[in-house]
Structure 1
Amino acid sequence: MLPQEIISDILSHLPAKSICRFRCVSKPWKSLLSQPHFIKTHLNRTKQLLADGEASLIFVSHDSCSLYSTHLKYTHHLSHNITTFATKLSFDNHLFSYANVFHMVSCDGLILVKDKKNKSLLINPTTREIKELPTSPYALNPRFSNTVYGLGYDSVNDDYKVVTVSYYHNFHGYDHCSTKMFVNVYSVRKGTWQRAESSPHDYDIGFSFSSGIFVDGHIHWLGARLSNNASSFIAAFDLGEDNFCKLSIPTWVASNHLVELGGCLCCYPSVMLATGNATDVYMMKEYGVMKSWAKFTVIHPEHLSLRPLCLLGTNQLVLVKNEGSIGAKLVMYNLAGGSSKDIVVHGIPNEFFVGGSFMESLVSPHCTTEAVTHC
């Protein structure tokens, strides 16, 4: 192998943050460590670490309206007290709120989030790169419509895509009725928006106002029939084909939200409250296979509001407890033993809110058609 190939192979095993520092060594190193092939190799190895039990979290400070991140490992559960330190993330002069960050979505280290001025931003918290997305020429008037978002990777066209589903709505008392829905797709590689041909006019996926969850080449939202507005299936947008398909949810699954845990699509109640202080979460262990839905149970000592964030290894589940209140806490819950430990986060001034999880990578939000093999 050539010397630079040896260097590339060795450095591809390092964390993304370390590689960012090596890029500053010299121009040749920066060029080498910014090549699409290297970024793709590093991303694949990082995904293996994620499977072994690593993840990062995004926070927003209530006081400064700034973003912060921290890194978690599976081995943290071995400590008597779990303590992490957050790093402040600066993205020009953009400010953020809890509402913005709560609806963030992530894929391969990229995060789609809106700032307080309602600008859609594609950011990489690790490399600190940021891209402001242009407004879609097909966007509906926000005064008369609502929009839900998703972000994912299209392996067919080697492209990251942002998907928006917008709909006009009418309100009749407390009943919500969607009338028209439109799907727009933004190609990060091309830097352009287009209207998807297959729009789901026979059902509503905006009733829960939830962001789309990316798993196995599809972005997922809960779907409801327009006739009764009751969650009855999962609407999956195929990024390779730019159209929707439907995944069934077992009739015995009561769910209001979706989340990705350990690479699998999961359903959980919007407020995890249950009789007997136990809440069931359902995981689709084999994508698209109805019979693969499996249940695991979160046991809590009192009625709490819980939101699952990520799964470290096979049995360490990270959750937000009492979200939205001053007493909100991060918790690492052991699925095997039923025990839990609070996670203390230092470095964020006063009150903060948790957005979600992401993986640290070198993927750039500025991928273009000139990129080779991978953004």
Structure 2
Amino acid sequence: MNDSQVTNLPDHTLPQDILVHILSLLPAKSIGRFRCVSKPWKSLLSHPHFIKTHLNRTKQLLGEDEASLIFVSNDSGLLYSTQLKYTHHMFDEITTFATKLCFDNHRFRSYHVFNMVSCDGLVLLNDEENKFLLINPTTREFKELPTSPYALDRHLSNTISGLGYDSVNDDYKVVTSEMFVNVYSVRNGTWERADSSPYDHDVGYRFSPGTFVNGCIHWLGVRLSDASSVIAALDLGEGKFGEVSIPSWVVGDREFAFNHLVELGGFLCWYPASLLATGNTTDVYMMKEYGVMDSWTKFTISHSEPISLRPLCLLGKKQLVLVENEGCIGEKLVMCNLSGGSSKDIAVHGIADDFSVGGSFMESLVSPHCTTEAVTEC
């Protein structure tokens, strides 16, 4: 059943459960049009139950194949997005077209989008005034988070952020780590201070955002009690800290510090992120079974020059989308075939000037307000 056939259905022709089942199979962007069919449809398709059903079906049926990317214009400070499934393959290059995203007068810079994090279609990032924004690039909704009453002076501290879903309380949570760890409940709109972290999260030459996997937000850290290098994990449901086993190949603090964590295909991954990296291959390690040290598995990315890589997302099991940074040459968006070792550059059209690549997100209907009705223009 295509979009036009569904739109022409009168409200009374299908039982509600069948209608929900059919519409939950459609892309998130299509749902906005169907909310305009009638008031009953708008009420049905804006209900939290439908939004959650649509999210779960998207994860089950489409998964990482539906990944989208966010960019920022280095001139205007505006955000753009593109869906990777709409790329066009031409010989050695892939082309895609970006769409402008407007969030009132908020503007962004490259160092803000580098540290963006996403969960279930929601994206957390800072604007140029260093305000936290929680946005849904698909529905164009956004929420400016209130300043935490526990926050330190932003000029005197470094804030490491994270975003994840608390399945115990059915809530999305924003986590910031400075001297203390603060947690923002999206549903309640309130900040709370978590139990004191037993770790120093300020590890490495660049402060990386937390990585959400398996209900926990993860950071590279140092255990305060004995200065050991660890992967710290904050369980959002329990609000408690734990640790994830470090890959056995880590041999020293220097090697540990010059790495980053990332979520790829639902798995926790570890990759080198230093411009000091040399050689023509980069090893990425993936934890295939969460919490099991022996399940760390290596895959290798080949490249022609010594570069630093920033993995963004997996498409299926074989295609990895990443950013290559060649120093003075700048960034390049690339799609790699992990089985064959081949790669293609991705050319992005629709952005008039120079841009920087942020990160990936999935398209969903989840509201950054966690309200019963999403804001969608007809």
TM-score by length of 1: 0.88
Partner of 1:265: 268
Mapped contact 2:64–2:265 kept (Cα < 8 A): no
Can you give the 5+ residue segments of structure 1 that lack an aligned partner in the other structure? 168-181
Residue aligned with 1:146, SS: coil
Residue aligned with 1:7, SS: helix
Cα displacement (A) at 1:225: 4.0
Partner of 2:191: 193
Letter in 1 for 2:120: D
Cα deviations by residue, 1:62-120 (Å, 9 ceiling, x for unpaired): 11100000011398669753111000000011000001111111000000111011111
Cα displacement (A) at 1:51: 2.9
Partner of 1:245: 242
1:97–1:305 distance in 2 versus 1, CA, 3 Å: same
Take 1:74 and 1:315, find their aligned partners in 2: how far apart are those partners? Answer: 18
1:204 aligned onto 2:200: yes
Take 1:222 and 1:307, find their aligned partners in 2: how far apart are those partners? Answer: 16
Mapped contact 2:87–2:94 kept (Cα < 8 A): no
Residue aligned with 1:126, SS: coil
Take 2:219 and 2:89, find their aligned partners in 1: how far apart are those partners? Answer: 32
Cα displacement (A) at 1:166: 1.1
Residue aligned with 2:158, SS: strand
Mapped contact 2:175–2:182 kept (Cα < 8 A): yes
Take 1:94 and 1:319, find their aligned partners in 2: how far apart are those partners? Answer: 27
Partner of 1:213: 211
Take 1:73 and 1:224, find their aligned partners in 2: how far apart are those partners? Answer: 40
Partner of 2:320: 317
Cα displacement (A) at 1:14: 0.6
1:327–1:274 distance in 2 versus 1, CA, 3 Å: closer
1:233 aligned onto 2:214: no
Partner of 2:101: 89
Residue aligned with 1:333, SS: strand
Percent identical across equivalent pairs?
A: 73
Take 1:23 and 1:245, find their aligned partners in 2: how far apart are those partners? Answer: 43
Take 2:275 and 2:311, find their aligned partners in 1: how far apart are those partners? Answer: 10
Within 5 A, what are the aligned runs for 1:284-323?
284-322=287-325
Residue aligned with 2:52, SS: helix
Cα displacement (A) at 1:20: 1.4
Cα deviations by residue, 1:331-362 (Å, 9 ceiling, x for unpaired): 00011000000111100112110110000000
Mapped contact 2:172–2:186 kept (Cα < 8 A): yes
Cα displacement (A) at 1:5: 2.6
TM-score by length of 2: 0.88
Take 2:16 and 2:44, find their aligned partners in 1: how far apart are those partners? Answer: 8
Partner of 2:127: 115
Quick one: which of 366, 370, 374 aligns to 2:369? 366
Mapped contact 1:268–1:282 kept (Cα < 8 A): yes
Residue aligned with 1:73, SS: helix
Quick one: which of 181, 184, 192 aligns to 1:183? 181
Cα displacement (A) at 1:228: 8.9
Quick one: which of 38, 48, 53 aligns to 2:50? 38
Partner of 2:142: 130
1:139 aligned onto 2:137: no
Take 2:139 and 2:79, find their aligned partners in 1: how far apart are those partners? Answer: 14
Cα deviations by residue, 1:297-330 (Å, 9 ceiling, x for unpaired): 0111111222110011001000111267554211
Can you give the 5+ residue segments of structure 2 that lack an aligned partner in the other structure? 1-12, 374-378
Cα displacement (A) at 1:53: 2.0
